[in-house]
Structure formats: C-alpha cells, structure tokens
Amino acid sequence: MSDKLRLGVNIDHVATLRNARGGAHPDPVAGAWAAIQSGADGITAHLREDRRHMRDDDMVRLQTLCESEDIPLNMEMAATSEMLKIALDLKPKAVCIVPERREERTTEGGLDVVGQHNSVAPIVRELTENGSRVSLFIEAQRTQIDAAKSCGAAVVELHTGAYAHAHEDDNIELAAEILKTLQDGATYAHSLGLEVHLGHGLTFDNVSDIAAIPEAVELNIGHFIIGEAVFMGLEPAILEMRRIMDAARV
C-alpha cells in the first residue's frame, strides 16, 4: 500500500458561489490558499468550456499561488484545442483530461479514451512534453485503462461517481459491486505502471473503502468538502476528510 494517500481539493464550487452574485467573493484562489494551509496535498480545478465556475484568470492566479506554495495544481480540462492552448501556456504541474458536455450538471462518466484515442493521444503527448503530468479521467474498465496506457498517460483517475450514487441510494449491493470494479481497475492500472487516482462524488460517508484501495495514490474531492465547509468551515472539513482517509489506510 502506498505510504501517504494524497488529497487533492477541488475548489470549483467556491467559484460557483462567487459567480452566483457576479462579484469577486468568495475568491476560489483564496479558497485554494485556505485548503493548502489546511493540509491539501494538491489543488484541482476544472476550467470548463462554459466557464460556469472556474474562469481563465482564476487559473492564472491559481497557478501562481500553487507555484509559490510548492503545491501541485491539477487542471481538469476537456480534450479540445482551446483547453490545450490554455494548459500549454499555464504549465500546471498536472492536467487531467475529462469528458465534458455543456448540458451536463456535473461530470457524468469517464472519458472514452478507446473511442477518442486519435484525438487524445496527441494532447497527452504535447502536455507531457510541456512538463505537465497527464491523467485521464476514466471508468475502471480494462479497455479504457489499456487505452490510457497506450496514449502515454502517466496517471488514470478512476471515476467514482456511480459508486457514490449507489451509496447515496443506499444500494449497498450495487455499491459493493462497483467498489470491486474500482479495486480491480486500480490493481490492473498499477500493474501497467500507471499511477492511480480516484474521484467524483466522494464524501465522509463513502470515502473509506476508496481510500483503502492499496494502489490509490490520490483522491480528488471537491463538491462535498466545499458543501461541508458551509457548515463546519473549510479547515475542519479538510481535516475530517484527511482523518477518515488516513484511518482507512492502517
């Protein structure tokens, strides 16, 4: 089991709150700073094509902050030429390529690397040559994991959304079934030399079994932490997530 399981805090939804009024508060970069002071091992931010939350100038300020704090910025982006140019200019430590549909409320599934291999592989190559560590956000399926490897990605982030939904619906049997798929996917990806991350929909209640996956190196968690921060504060929310993750690894 890898020693320390990294927590990447996704600060997208600080920007959602800011954009609700069209002003500058709360500033997602200030949120990232607070998350870093609270022990976040990395900051994740999704620059969506529709800029519903994070905006271009946020990403520039975020990269400056992360560089000054020596904390990796993990930029999530769709596999488009627009986002590729932004990421090449920004030079974040990490980039995670995710699927995106304008009409979706949130990320609904993993990137179809098998079907989009010819468009994804050149983007992976350019970003890697530019110095970013590239991750592909995929379902825990061997075909997608193989395709990610063949694209030259260093990391796969396994989509935990279906697991989270099953948990939310108290469908314990289905949650256990999906967890097994995630566990098997993590083991397979690791056997191919891929670094294994997991994320989407993780909460205090459902994170333990994901954190206990031995090959997991990083969890990216955002919406729940920011939501909890409304009630208990950002630092306590991050510290509690950290505590649960660490307790699952003993």
Tell me the catalytic residues.
Answer: 46, 76, 200
Quick one: which of 221, 234, 238, 241 contacts ligand LD2JLWAY (CB under 6 A)? Answer: 221
Quick one: which of 42, 196, 222, 228 contacts ligand LD2JLWAY (CB under 6 A)? Answer: 222
Query: At 171, is the secondary structure helix, strand, or coil?
Result: coil
Q: Which stretch binds ligand DXP (CB under 6 A): 45-53, 87-95, 114-122, 168-176?
A: 45-53
With binding defined as CB under 6 A, does residue 6 bind ligand DXP? Answer: no
With binding defined as CB under 6 A, does residue 44 bind ligand LD2JLWAY? Answer: yes
**Binding residues for ligand LD2JLWAY restricted to 120-179, rule: CB under 6 A:** 157
With binding defined as CB under 6 A, does residue 119 bind ligand DXP? Answer: no
Q: Which stretch binds ligand LD2JLWAY (CB under 6 A): 17-25, 33-41, 221-229, 232-240?
A: 221-229
Q: How far apart are CA 5 and CA 114, in angstroms?
A: 28
Residue 202 touches which member of ligand LD2JLWAY, ligand DXP, none, C-beta under 5-8 Å by kind: ligand LD2JLWAY
With binding defined as CB under 6 A, does residue 199 bind ligand DXP? Answer: yes
Nearer to ligand LD2JLWAY, 84 or 219 (CB): 219
Strand locations in the chain, DSSP E?
Answer: 6-10, 42-46, 73-77, 94-97, 133-138, 155-159, 195-199, 216-221
For 203-206, the CB contacts below 8 A with 24+ separation are: 203/164, 203/167, 204/228, 204/240, 204/241, 204/244, 205/167, 206/163, 206/164, 206/167, 206/175
Q: How far apart are CA 245 and CA 24, in angstroms?
A: 33
Residue type, 23: G
The radius of gyration computed from the CA coordinates of the chain, to the nearest angstrom, equals: 17
Nearer to ligand DXP, 175 or 202 (CB): 202
For residue 62, the 8-state DSSP code is H
Q: How far apart are CA 120 and CA 37, in angstroms?
A: 35
Structural contact between residues 98 and 111, judged by C-beta atoms closer than 8 angstroms: yes
Q: Give the contact letters, 195-214, x = binds to ligand LD2JLWAY (CB under 6 A), - = no.
A: ----xxxx------------
List residues bridging with 138 in a β-sheet. 158
Q: What is the CB neighbour count within 10 angstroms for residue 182?
A: 22
Tell me how far, at minimum, the Cβ of 200 lies from ligand LD2JLWAY, in Å: 4
Per CB under 6 A, residues contacting ligand DXP are 10, 12, 46, 48, 53, 76, 98, 106-107, 137, 199-200, 222-223
Per CB under 6 A, residues contacting ligand LD2JLWAY are 10, 44, 157, 199-202, 220-224
